[in-house]
Amino acid sequence: MRELLQVRDLKKTFKISAKQQKIQKTKERIKVAVNHLSFTAYQGEVFGLLGSNGAGKTTTLRMIASLITPDEGDVVVDGTSVVTNPSEVRRKIGFLTSELKLEEFFTPNYLFDFFSDLHGVEKETAEKRKRELFDKFQISEFAEVKVANLSTGMKQKVSLVVSIVHDPDIIIFDEPTNGLDVLTAKVVTDFLLELKAQGKTIVVSTHIFSLIEKICDRVGIIIDGAMVVCDTLEHMTEEKSLEEKFFDIYAERAGESYEK
């Protein structure tokens, strides 16, 4: 299989303010958010990053997307280094995050056109892709409605659509169904499976076991910024459910036992 994404020994630290030290009840001034993390994603597969809130998933994805620079290590996206050529990496990927805040004054129509221009998509191609995506996600009737007046689910769907205007081969989703109602979450999940069928490489971070089990080929479990297990979903769930496997690993690492 062709390797499209190589995450190589990533490390990222952040300074902790005095206020944060007090809240977190720590004297440490530096937090290691990602600790020498590595994995590979192949063409046409869905790779899941599974971990609790604060495990380092979002920081990892932001480094892959070149939004923040790693302290150590590198990410190679289809032959291009995030460290040496971040602008080229941005052209090769789509990145959807719950932190993406759409300007509330603009409409879905305007935002799609803006991001299409930003990615250099030809106008005719952009119009065709807009029609297809707006129809698929039932955005068409809200195309001229300001983002401020859209529901949470519709905002998420618009965010997803504008993140892939350029039809990238590598797509990164950070908690793609977080905060969505069950119907909208199903629409998004089904679309991820469609992208997989098209041969796209998808990296998804989540804390939702059922989402990983439904769409992922391989999964990496992150605890305290470190990759503790990385394997095929099939192999990882041979004897136990993914949830049971996760808590066994977590308990072993933390030295605690968890009662179900």
Residue 13: what pLDDT?
Answer: 94
- Neighbouring C-beta atoms of residue 94, cutoff 10 Å: 23
Which percentage of the chain shows pLDDT scores above 70?
96
> Model confidence over 172-193: pLDDT tens digits?
999 888 778 888 888 889 999 9
- Tokens at residue 128, please? 């065709």
DSSP SS3 for 249 = helix
> Model confidence over 52-79: pLDDT tens digits?
888 999 999 999 999 999 999 999 999 9
Where is pLDDT greater, at 153 or 5? 5
Cα dihedral: 151, 157, 161, 163 (round 10): 90
Give me the domains of the chain, ranges plus CATH numbers. 3-99+169-254 (3.40.50.300)
pLDDT tier for residue 2 given thresholds of 50, 70 and 90: confident
Do 225 and 56 form a contact (C-beta atoms < 8 A)? yes
> Does the pLDDT value for residue 136 go beyond 70?
yes
Q: What is the rounded CA–CA span in Å between residue 24 and residue 58? A: 19
What are the Cα distances from residue 88, in Å, to 80, 81, 166?
7, 9, 13
Do 37 and 191 form a contact (C-beta atoms < 8 A)? no
Do 157 and 137 form a contact (C-beta atoms < 8 A)? yes
Residue 122: what pLDDT?
Answer: 94
What are the Cα distances from residue 191, in Å, to 50, 64, 166?
20, 22, 16
- Tokens at residue 51, please? 């971990």
Q: What is the rounded CA–CA span in Å between residue 12 and residue 73? A: 9
Which percentage of the chain shows pLDDT scores above 90?
69
> Does the pLDDT value for residue 259 go beyond 50?
no
- Tokens at residue 54, please? 């604060």
Residue 260: what pLDDT?
Answer: 44
Strand 218-223 and strand 226-232: the pairing is antiparallel
Average pLDDT, the chain: 90
Over range 230-259, report the average pLDDT: 82
Do 203 and 30 form a contact (C-beta atoms < 8 A)? no
Over range 231-236, report the average pLDDT: 93
pLDDT tier for residue 145 given thresholds of 50, 70 and 90: very high
Give 21's strand partners.
none
pLDDT tier for residue 258 given thresholds of 50, 70 and 90: very low
Helix axes 108-118, 123-136, angle to 10 degrees: 140
Q: What is the rounded CA–CA span in Å between residue 213 and residue 48? A: 9
Best mean pLDDT range from 12-21, 120-129, 246-255: 120-129
Residue 29: what pLDDT?
Answer: 82
- Neighbouring C-beta atoms of residue 158, cutoff 10 Å: 26
Q: What is the rounded CA–CA span in Å between residue 75 and residue 82? A: 5
> Does the pLDDT value for residue 27 go beyond 90?
no
Q: What is the rounded CA–CA span in Å between residue 186 and residue 171? A: 18
- Tokens at residue 52, please? 């609790």
What is the model's pTM?
A: 0.89
